[in-house]
Amino acid sequence: MKAFLKRIRGRVFPTRPALSIVVVVFNMQREATRTLHSLSRAYQTGVSENDYELIVVDNGSAPPFSMDARMARHVRYFHIGDALPSPARAMNFGVARSRGEYVATIIDGARLLSPGVIQYGLRAFQAFRDPVVTVPAWHLGPDIQRRGMKHGYDQAVEDGLLDGIGWPRNGYRLFEISTLGGSCSDGWFRPMAESSCLFVSRADYEAVGGYDERFRAPGGGLVSHDLYRRLCSLDGKDLVVLLGEGTFHQLHGGVATNATEEEFARRYRLWLDEYQALRGEPYSRPEKAAHFLGHIPSQAKQFLSFSAERFLVEDPVKAPGRSPPSLSPE
């Protein structure tokens, strides 16, 4: 791993990081502060200070997002004053200002990461010639958050859950207090609808034009689904799912994750319509066969068992006792 990273940096430019991670934030001071810690060298395992850079694009927060001095030394921060409701332009803005040969995009800055995401994301570029790498998504809490909110789940409950596992001392304990997100509700081994944390070469990101800024819905609608599908459709690409890793969504009033069921259903219909108008066909999740890279921490064994059971079901949509897997944003 170290030799690979040294070779990558040396081939590109002596001070250029192998990876640029771009995070978009909007009015999430509580959540993004934790997210940035989960991306720090103090939290992520198996990586060093020169392996990656971290770029935060504040998509019009009022007041602007504020970092403590220790974190600010390791982050390049940009604030967009004339922000659009969709984060697509903000993400492309950040990637355009990044320097790594590879980019990782986190379009929702309220997502905590497990501790091996960056290490294994980089390893994927060593193990495969030119992969598309994705990290499955979870919600903090006992249920999808828009359902959990109806039963009293709020930020205070969430803070208590994080305190209860002693986060951030062991980031893998996030699996103990989380549930699978809607777009990967069948676990690691079934096709997923979108990527909440996506690694790709800069060349591939630019080849597909990045996030399509014609997606104008607040929160981006299906813009992440769209980019993920377009990248998976490129010829000769290996799809790599990081096994045993995840992103964990915090409650922050997001337009997709934290709307009421009724409001979400209304918005979702509009997002589907927007996607079809732009692409000329309904959205469907990529069916590309995946490779798997990583390890299974003990805290995630329940999800490994669940994922294996879902994988063995011939038709998950018709399986008894389960709802169809969702295409919806996380």
d(CA 282, CA 160): 41
Query: In the predicted model, is pLDDT for residue 318 greater than 70?
Result: no
| Residue 10: per-residue pLDDT | 43
Residue 70 pLDDT class (50, 70, 90 cuts): confident
Architecture of the CATH domain 2-311: Alpha-Beta Complex (3.90)
Question: Quick check: bond before 136 cis, omega within 30?
Answer: no
Rounded mean pLDDT, 141-164: 94
Rounded mean pLDDT, 32-57: 95
d(CA 226, CA 210): 10
- Cβ neighbors of 132 (< 8 A, separation 6 or more) are 198, 199, 200, 204, 228, 231, 232, 234, 237, 238, 239, 240
Q: Say how many CA atoms lie within 13 Å of 145 toward its Cβ.
A: 26
Provide the residue ranges of all domains of the chain, joining segments of one domain with +.
2-311
What amino acid is encoded at 19 in this protein?
L
Question: Quick check: bond before 168 cis, omega within 30?
Answer: yes
Residue 251 near residue 143, CB atoms below 8 Å? no
- Tell me the pLDDT tens digit for each residue of 255-275: 666 667 778 788 889 999 999
- Per the prediction, the chain carries an average pLDDT of 90
Any idea of the CA torsion for 292, 293, 294, 299, to the nearest 10 degrees? -10
| Residue 257: per-residue pLDDT | 64
| Residue 262: per-residue pLDDT | 78
d(CA 19, CA 105): 11
Residue 184 near residue 228, CB atoms below 8 Å? no
Task: Provide the sign of the torsion angle of the four alpha carbons 94, 90, 57, 259, taken in this order.
Answer: negative
| Residue 314: per-residue pLDDT | 64
**Residues paired with 105 in a beta bridge:** 22, 198
Residue 4 near residue 36, CB atoms below 8 Å? no
